Structures are given as C-alpha cells and as structure tokens.
Amino acid sequence: MRQTMAVTQKNMYEQIDGANCQTLFGERISQKDAAVRAVERIGLNRIKEIRREIFSSLPQFYEMFCERLQLLQSIDCHSRR
C-alpha cells in the first residue's frame, strides 16, 4: 500500500496540477489551483529570470517548472487587464 501511495504521489508531481495543496486547511485543492488563485489575487512577483542551471542536480524537473511558470504568467497577464 505504501509503495502504491508513493508511486501515485510521484506521478501527481509530474502533472501540471501537482499534488493536493496542504496549506488550505479544510479545502481540497490542487497545488495548481492554489497557485492560480494566489496569482489572480496578488499577481506574480518575479524579480529575475530563473536560470536552467538551478535545476542542474534535478534536470528532470525543469520542463515541468517552465510549464507551470508559463501557466501562472498567462494568468498574471489576464488579471492585470
């Protein structure tokens, strides 16, 4: 059972929705939906470009990071109109 849960949890992180967000107590919401809600409310505050080298020890996460960031940037652009 534990191994199945670990595999399921790993697969959830590999999808755009991510896992269940732990910070919204009493509300079941994905990490993606929580991030979207936050960006809609306060915007996306990004100081500088995020370099690919930051992911050098875990390069398999870079593409998903870029996909998630692109989603949040598109929401930030729409919420500023």
Q: Please give the Cα distance from 67 to 59 (Å, whole number).
A: 14
pLDDT for the residue numbered 52: 94
Q: Please give the Cα distance from 13 to 8 (Å, whole number).
A: 9
pLDDT for the residue numbered 70: 92
pLDDT for the residue numbered 81: 53
CB proximity list for 27: less than 8 A, separation 6 or greater: none
Spell out the per-residue pLDDT of the chain, length 81, in tens: 444 444 444 565 566 666 666 666 777 888 888 888 889 999 988 888 899 999 999 998 899 899 989 999 998 876 655
pLDDT for the residue numbered 39: 92
